[in-house]
């Protein structure tokens, strides 16, 4: 599962990494959790960056109350059920990030680690999106899921899944219009371990709220001995 990630860079840095227009407002976020906003580039609007809710609520849902089932889509389920329908509709997206969290269990204590890339400060997960429309107000709720795959040797110590991180070349393929579904699924493999790094962060990141307020401070992504 990938249920917590970061995009701590400034808007100018995001726009430098992706030649697209920022359509919706977004603030740097060091603790993006389910229902929070996250930036996506849709396959049908590759020159735009939108702010959607993390945790996919499908078109057929009764309401927007989501759970962890909508946060991630397994790579081996992409050609099954609702995920196949979303894939067939071309509702693929890039989910922009600069890191993500996983936890190490040490004697019953959850110790958070942040994972980033060596040579790319900003990168993208493979994602799927959908739009749910309120039956009465007709208000649209736009949301996304991050696709997960088997862990590489760096992640397997922390979890049995990892987010699908795309290379720059794979990003273009993922949002291409003419690639067969089976070839798209083949892109969803573990990211090369030699291109990743990890470091421990403060246990403060474990909570999404502190005294009722959102827990989003820049100190969350500092190394644990610096926080």
pLDDT of residue 68: 65
Q: Report the residue count for the chain.
A: 227
Cα 56 to Cα 86, 115, 184, 205, 225, distances in angstroms: 11, 23, 19, 23, 35
Cα 96 to the center of its chain, rounded Å: 7
* Burial annotation 157-176 (CB, 10 A radius, 16+ → b, else e): ebeebbbbbbbeebbeebbe
Do residues 128 and 73 make contact, with C-beta atoms less than 8 angstroms apart? yes
- Containing 17, the helix (H) or strand (E) segment is helix 11-17
The three-state secondary structure class of 76 is: helix
What is the rounded end-to-end Cα distance, in angstroms, of the chain? 25
pLDDT at 227: 46
Cα-atom radius of gyration of the chain, to the nearest Å?
A: 17
pLDDT value for 211: 76
Cα distance between residue 173 and residue 216, in whole Å: 33
Question: Tokens 């795959």 sit at which residue?
Answer: 149
pLDDT score recorded for residue 66: 66
Active-site hit among 21, 88, 93, 102: 102
Q: Is 93 a residue of the active site?
A: no
- Is position 2 annotated as part of the catalytic site? yes
- Kindly name the residue from 2, 170, 171, 188 that is annotated as catalytic: 2
Name the 3-class secondary structure at 67: coil
5-221 is classed in which CATH architecture?
Alpha-Beta Complex (3.90)
| pTM for this entry | 0.96
pLDDT at position 225, please?
79
With the C-alpha atoms ordered 181, 58, 101, 158, is the resulting torsion angle positive or negative? negative
- Which residues of the chain fall below pLDDT 70? 66-68, 226-227
Q: How many CB atoms lie within 10 A of CB 81?
A: 11
Residue spans per domain, the chain:
5-221
Is 222:132 a contact under the CB 8 Å cutoff? no
> What pLDDT score does 39 carry?
98
């Amino acid at each position: 599962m990938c249920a917590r990630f970061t995009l701590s860079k400034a808007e100018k840095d995001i726009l430098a990494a992706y030649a697209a227009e920022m359509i919706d407002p977004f603030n740097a976020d060091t603790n993006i959790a389910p229902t929070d906003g996250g930036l996506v580039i849709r396959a049908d609007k590759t020159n735009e960056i939108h702010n959607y809710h993390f945790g996919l609520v499908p078109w057929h849902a009764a309401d927007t109350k989501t759970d962890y089932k909508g946060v991630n889509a397994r790579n081996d389920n992409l050609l099954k059920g609702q995920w196949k329908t979303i894939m067939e509709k071309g509702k693929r997206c890039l989910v922009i990030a600069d890191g993500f969290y996983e936890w190490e269990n040490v004697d019953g204590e959850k110790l958070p680690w942040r994972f980033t890339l060596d040579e790319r400060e900003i990168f993208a997960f493979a994602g799927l999106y959908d739009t749910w429309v309120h039956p009465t107000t007709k208000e649209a709720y736009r949301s996304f899921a991050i696709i997960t795959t088997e862990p590489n040797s760096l992640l397997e110590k922390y979890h049995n899944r990892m987010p699908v991180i795309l290379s720059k070349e794979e990003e273009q393929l993922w949002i291409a219009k003419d690639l067969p579904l089976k070839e798209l699924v083949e892109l969803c493999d573990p990211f090369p371990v030699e291109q990743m790094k990890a470091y421990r962060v403060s246990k403060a990141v474990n909570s999404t709220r502190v005294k009722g307020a959102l827990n989003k401070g820049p100190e969350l992504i500092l190394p644990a001995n610096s926080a």
